[in-house]
Amino acid sequence: MEAKNSNKSAPGLKDEESKATSSPAHFTRGRIVRFAAIVSLILLSANAVVCATWSHFFHVPGWMVWQALPGALGVAFIPTTMLRFRSAHPALRLAYALLATWLGALNFVFFAAIACWVVAGIGWLIGRQLPRFQIAEILFGLAFLATAYGLVNARRIRVKKITVQLPHLPESWRGRTAALITDLHLGPLNGAKFLRRVIERLRSLQPEAVFISGDMFDGPTHGLDRLVSPWREYTPPLGIYFVTGNHDEFADRSLYLDPVRRVGIHVLHNEMFSIEGLQLVGVHDSEAGDPVTLRSILSAARINRQRASILLAHRPINLAIAEEQGISLQLSGHTHNGQNWPWNLLVARIYKGFGYGLNRLRTMQVYTSSGVGTWGPPMRVATQSEIVLIRFEKEPA
């Protein structure tokens, strides 16, 4: 089975390939401090709303004093997240897991607190004094049930099967399948054991090829060879192909790419690769996020519009450029489909209908996966962890 690079000498690609092994992302101390300060303020404000609501509806006085503990738990997530880039100590991983879980719980109890005031306000408007304790008991109870459900739901890996009809699809690809994997986030929470579970599902699905659209890793650079080692045990007939996501660029990109290459995965360095006549283009996240650079890479790739083409790009952005350059199908991730309610609703608005699922922009189709892993809170509510199995068919003339 042929799988060969069809554009190694394309003009303009070599310059991009030479940049591809080093990450263009830079995080200055000032930016980190500003980001930490803003997030801390948001978390403390949310915590204050929750504690004040709890105190009012459950008749528990002194909330300004006892809110210090949950407030500290929320804020501690930020330095713990930063420290995990420097150490892989088991105690730090445990602390990160607990704090990330609390952060997810805070999401649901915050909205429960808001709902308490809304329900009470409705009672006031209609002239009925509703029982405060029962209101809070029901709404906060639902919030904690959502937290428990989210923890369990996030560990369930679903298989989303779709059929994509592509114009000019090679006859050799008709009826064949490929798996899309995004957002594994291998690191403190999702380790090699989690990856083995994903690979076992892939074995049962038997795709011809596997496409990984970024965020193989969660960001920290220690122990990466161990995290990706299970990939050595799995080789689909036409190979595994990878481009970076934003989390694979938190440090020098080569630190993430070298372990990926060592387990036999083909890293697409802003280039096109021909797999039995199917044009596969891979663009790393930073380059795909810059309209000028993305247009330059796709132009240099010399995409044949009379043959089907697939673009691996982490985020579903700059879609008009990919469509103009003749891409038939873009495969992305990044959004997690919001991961937890109500952020899935916000994602749909931010990405203008391309935040999840199979959608179309004129002649190009786009599939954005919710990802198989999680980031931050290890839970999913109103979304699912998924492997996408794509069956290819030729679009009718």
pLDDT for 194 beyond 60: yes
pLDDT for 98 beyond 90: yes
User: What is the reported pLDDT for 7?
Assistant: 44
The answer to whether 383 touches 158, Cβ cutoff 8 Å, is no
Q: Average the pLDDT over 199-220 and give the result.
A: 97
pLDDT tens per residue across span 44-97: 999 999 999 999 999 888 777 778 888 888 889 889 988 888 888 899 999 999
The answer to whether 323 touches 370, Cβ cutoff 8 Å, is no
pLDDT band at 105 (very low <50, low <70, confident <90, very high): very high
Tally of CB atoms within 10 A around 207: 23
Residue from 289, 241, 320 nearest 23 by CA: 289
User: What is the reported pLDDT for 380?
Assistant: 98
Mean residue pLDDT across the chain? 91
Q: How far apart are the first and last CA of the chain?
A: 27
Q: Average the pLDDT over 178-201 and give the result.
A: 97
Question: Whole-angstrom Cα distance, residue 22 to residue 249?
Answer: 9
Q: Which of 83-97, 215-229, 238-252 has the lowest mean pLDDT?
A: 83-97
User: What is the reported pLDDT for 244?
Assistant: 98
pLDDT tens per residue across span 125-156: 887 877 889 999 999 999 999 999 999 999 99
pLDDT for 20 beyond 80: no
